[in-house]
A and B are shown apart, each in its own frame.
Chain A
Amino acid sequence: MKCESCNKKLATVHLTEIVENEKKERHFCEDCAQNVTNHFPKAPSPSDILTSLINQVSPEIREMSKMTCPVCGLSYLEFRSQGRLGCPMDYNVFKKGLLPLIERMHGSSQHVGKVPPNAGAEIIKKNEMIQLRKELNEAVEKEDYERAAELRDKIYELSGNVEDGD
């Protein structure tokens, strides 16, 4: 069967059109079919479907979905599907997406535990501050004002040369 458009090549693409309840069969060669099908609405690709699903469920992922770690090459979507990070830097690169996840998992997103023995003096001090603030909050909650005042003084003393925040 020859292509009904160019009438030269063999028809390899067979389309069924339904117009006003009437079925019509059409036969094209590959080249002509390309032109014809371009006019049809395109079916969404699996990745389009996935993205639209994710957008509905979690807006945070939409924003993060285009991000890739410059160090290890892991994309945020890969992380979400595998649940494993690629390198320490990912905690910084994907921070915005990770924070709510980490909050949900641990009920907190601030480390208050051990610091490596060879960590810089800055980190050690910063960690100590965090620990003290936590204790201060607890002391206030327990209405142990004597202890709270002690802790406050310690914090003032330490905060002289440490910048706040991260």
Chain B
Amino acid sequence: MEIRDLSDKTGEWLRGTGKESDIVISSRIRLARNITGYPFLSRSNLKQRKEIEFLLRNTIIESSIAQDISYVNLNNATSVDKLFLVERHLISKEHAAGEGERGVAFGKSETISLMINEEDHLRIQVIHSGFELNDTWETTDEIDNILGKRLNFAFSARFGYLTACPTNVGTGMRVSVMLHLPALGMTKHIEKVFNAVGKLGLVVRGLYGEGTKVSGDLYQISNQFALGKSEKEIISIIESVIPRITSYERMARKALVLESKDQLEDRIWRSYGMLKAARMITSEEILQLLSQVRMGVNIGLIDNIEIQTLNELFVLTLPGHLQKLQGCELDSTQRNIIRASYVRKRLEGL
């Protein structure tokens, strides 16, 4: 399959289905694994890197983990292709920016992605739409078991799964839940969420993980510790926190409707109008507009757009996607024009 074939579709995790999907965009779990007998990547030579890539790629393809697995060799992928895969959450920014033999295998529904030679030899990632951590863990665990029978993962009884960075050692697990929190952002209550979450050893990040800024009121909550607690314990900590944040967001929305209904509605309708009429929209602006309109749909103000359409537009209007869709490299002005016309088309067809 060609990456091009994906450019006007999105992965299943953007469907807007699953529990609490008005606020919870997606639930994601990733596991870090390394193969015994090889150094970690920073100390591997070219030959070892190649061997690891070959071994993992073959094992993944042979064990038919997911339907119609595609494999992309990142070593000779174009920068637009890499950007595209980052935007789709199929690879991390670090994986795109890396060097040498490395790649990614992903299933047709894009629920499963296996990164080879990222920071660790293998990163198993599973994403589901909505607040569905248990299903996500079941799939992750299953893949890990299938691969763990065929490969020898570096492991010690004391420290668990051994990883290149000691922040991941133990379970090698990071759980991330992506939330859309426009009302908490607007009312500045989001700071309180950050503080409370920090006390539980959790951390809040932007849309694209570590070191990325928050845009479109999208936040990722994830665990910082990976050792000393079992996978299920880590999941249950996050699982207990998320409903509190979502109900806090709902309260903030209700308060906004009660206290400043006119301003709120004006803001949402203006954003909707911009999306339907603007001729040039920057990538920063569109996230804000989509965020407002998404909240408009959630509070019942706008009823002719599907949440799925909005979720997808968050990704489909990103620079890599627009360039892939257009089939050529575009400068930022060209992207702004095409972005605006693409959104108009998607919203006019309603």
List residues of chain A with CB under 8 Å of any chain B CB. 71-74, 82-88, 91-92, 98, 101-102, 105-119, 123, 126-127, 130-131, 166
**Could you tell me if B227 and A82 are in contact, using CB atoms closer than 8 angstroms?**
no
Q: Is the CB of B39 within 8 A of A72?
A: yes
CA of A87 to CA of B34, assembled, Å:
9
Cβ proximity bits B7-24 to A, threshold 8 Å, 1 near / 0 not: 000000000000000000
- Cβ of B144 within 8 Å of any chain A Cβ, yes or no, is yes
Find chain B residues with CB under 8 A from A114 CB: 141, 144, 160-161, 171, 230-231
Chain B residues lying within 8 Å of A119, measured Cβ to Cβ, are: 155
A108 and B227 contact, CB distance less than 8 A: yes
Seen from chain B, the residues whose Cβ lies within 8 Å of a Cβ on chain A are: 34, 36, 38-40, 42-43, 119, 141, 144-145, 148-149, 152-167, 169-171, 173, 201, 224-231
A20 CB, min distance to chain B CBs, angstroms: 56
A86, A88, A98: the one within 8 Å of B36 (CB): A88
**Docked pose: A82 CA to B164 CA in angstroms:** 11
Residues of chain B within 8 A (CB-CB) of A108 are: 225, 227-229
B329 shortest CB reach to chain A, Å: 33
Say which residue of B119, B162, B225 sits within 8 Å of A91 (CB atoms): B162
In the complex, the chain B residue whose C-beta lies closest to that of A119 is: B155
Determine whether the beta carbon of A118 is less than 8 Å from that of B149.
Answer: yes
Residue from A83, A84, A86, A91 within 8 A of B159 (CB atoms) = A91
What are 30 of the A-B contact pairs (CB < 8 Å)?
A71-B39, A82-B42, A84-B42, A86-B42, A87-B43, A88-B34, A88-B154, A91-B156, A91-B169, A102-B166, A102-B227, A105-B166, A107-B225, A109-B227, A110-B227, A111-B156, A111-B160, A111-B228, A112-B228, A113-B160, A113-B230, A114-B141, A114-B144, A114-B231, A116-B148, A116-B152, A117-B148, A118-B148, A123-B157, A130-B157
Which of chain B's residues have a CB closer than 8 A to the CB of A88?
34, 36, 40, 154, 156, 162
Residues of B within 8 A of A92 (CB): 156
Chain B contacts for A116, CB-based, 8 A: 148, 152-153, 155, 161
Q: Identify A86's interface contact among B40, B163, B166, B227, CB under 8 A.
A: B40
- B159 pairs with A102, CB closer than 8 A: yes
Cα A32 to Cα B229 with chains together (Å)? 67
Add 7 more A-B contacts to A72-B43, A118-B149 (CB < 8 A).
A84-B165, A88-B154, A88-B162, A107-B225, A110-B227, A110-B228, A119-B155
Q: In the docked arrangement, what's the CA distance between A83 and B152, Å?
A: 25
Closest CB of chain A to B314's CB: distance in Å? 32
Assembly CA distance A131 to B160 (angstroms): 13
Bound Cα distance A110, B154 (Å):
16
Q: How far is the CA of A83 from the CA of B210 in the complex (A)?
A: 15
A107 to B231, CA, bound (A): 15
Q: Nearest Cβ in chain A — how far from B6, in angstroms?
A: 32
Distance between Cα atoms of A126 and B156 in the complex (Å): 11
Residues of chain B within 8 A of A115, CB atoms compared: 155
CB within 8 Å for A85 and B230 given contacts A102-B159, A107-B225, A118-B152: no
Cβ–Cβ < 8 Å partners of A84 in chain B: 40, 42, 119, 164-165
Contacts of A102 in B (CB 8 A): 159, 166, 169, 227
Please name all residues of chain A whose beta carbon is closer than 8 Å to the beta carbon of B230 when the two chains form the complex: 112-114, 131
The answer, among A73, A85, A123, for a CB contact under 8 Å with B166, is A85
If A84-B40, A102-B169 touch, whether A127 touches B227 (CB-CB below 8 Å) is no
Q: Which residues of the partner chain B approach A74 to less than 8 Å between Cβ atoms?
A: 43
Report the minimal beta-carbon distance from B138 to chain A, rounded to whole angstroms. Answer: 13
The residues of A that contact B40 with a CB separation of less than 8 Å are 72, 84-88
Most buried by A among B36, B201, B226, B227: B227
Complex-state Cα separation, A82 to B154, whole angstroms: 21
Instruction: Let me know if A101 and B154 touch, CB within 8 A.
Output: no
CB contacts (< 8 Å) of A123 on chain B: these are: 155, 157
B43 proximity list for chain A (CB < 8 A)? 72-74, 86-87
B273 → A minimal CB distance (Å): 48
Q: Cβ of B226 and Cβ of A106 under 8 Å apart?
A: yes
A107-B201, A108-B227, A109-B227 given as contacts; is B155 within 8 A of A85 (CB)?
A: no
Residues of A within 8 A of B152 (CB): 116, 118
